[in-house]
Structure 1
Amino acid sequence: MTTAGMPFGGDEGDFGRVKGLLGRMGHEFLVLLRLAKAVKNGHYGLATPQLAALLGALGYVVSPVDAIPDILVGVGFTDDAAVVTATIGILGMEIANFRSWENEHHSGKYRG
């Protein structure tokens, strides 16, 4: 296989790591969506600063106004990914608490 079109110098190991990172980030984004839904439905509570971080991140991702327009193939979602990654970092402990709550009260995933 030619590696000319591969990111990070064409090393398939690097491509696999990037693919894995994106997959994990997508999974964490789904957790953020479930968390927002549980808060909206009144089933889970967040402090105001955490709620602001969560809603700000989700609002930024769905907003058509971006620092880097999503229409730019290959780089358009990097700002969205950065916002989601930062929010996961900020809410890390709360995400872990939410997952425990999901496991205890909703058999692993909150469905609302």
Structure 2
Amino acid sequence: MLFGKNKNKFYFNPGNRDTGVDENYVQEEVSKIDEDDVEVVLKNEENIDKKFSGSNGLSKYMELGRIMMSMLKDVKKGEYKNIPWFTIATIVLALLYVLNPMDIIPDFIPGIGYIDDIAVLSIGVGWIESDLHRYLDWRLEHEKGI
């Protein structure tokens, strides 16, 4: 198993915020994510990056996508460990949604086509924010050779 034994553990902690999201629904959707979905995201890194690269206003989301993609790669290589499956699945779900051109608001609609992509990415980041911060801290330490 590529991502270790954490797959069956469910970690959902949106903090003190009321997200209005049914946790049972989220758990059900997360349980549908498998390693093939992770591979689809990793193989489409360039397409996901291109989606947000067209606008300066989306650069923040492009950087978040790159961080999430980097986390997936480091987990796959076995360099970054002890990450809950929920975090991996959340990243995969968010990036698969971004990759899909025909979502709730089709991307070809000028001006508003990316609103739903940004919303899904933002909600996902909100759910896994502490894991992203731990990853970034780890990456800084890893790059320094500490």
Distance in 1 (alpha carbons) for counterparts of 2:56 and 2:103: 25
Pairs within 5 Å for 1:1-112: 22-45=58-81, 46-107=83-144
Asked which structure has the greater RCO (Cα within 8 Å, sep 6+), the reply is 2
CA distance in 1, matches of 2:99, 2:67: 16
Runs of 4+ residues over 4 Å off in structure 1: none
* Alpha-carbon distance change, 21 to 76 in structure 1, aligned in 2, over 3 angstroms: closer
- Unpaired segments ≥5 residues, structure 1: 1-18, 108-112
What is the TM-score when the length of structure 2 is the normalising length?
0.55
- SS where residue 91 of structure 1 aligns? helix
Q: Match of 1:36, as an amino acid? A: L
What residue ranges of structure 2 are gaps of 5+ in the alignment? 1-54
| Separation in 2, partners of 1:100, 1:88 | 16
Q: Which residue does the alignment assign to 1:13?
A: none
Say how many residue pairs are matched: 89
Aligned to 1:10: none
Distance 1:58 1:73, change over 3 A: same
**Over aligned residue pairs, what C-alpha RMSD do you find?**
2.0
Bigger Rg over Cα: 1
SS at match of 2:98: helix
Counterpart CA distance in 1 for 2:75 and 2:94 is: 15
Cα offset for 1:20? Answer: 8.3
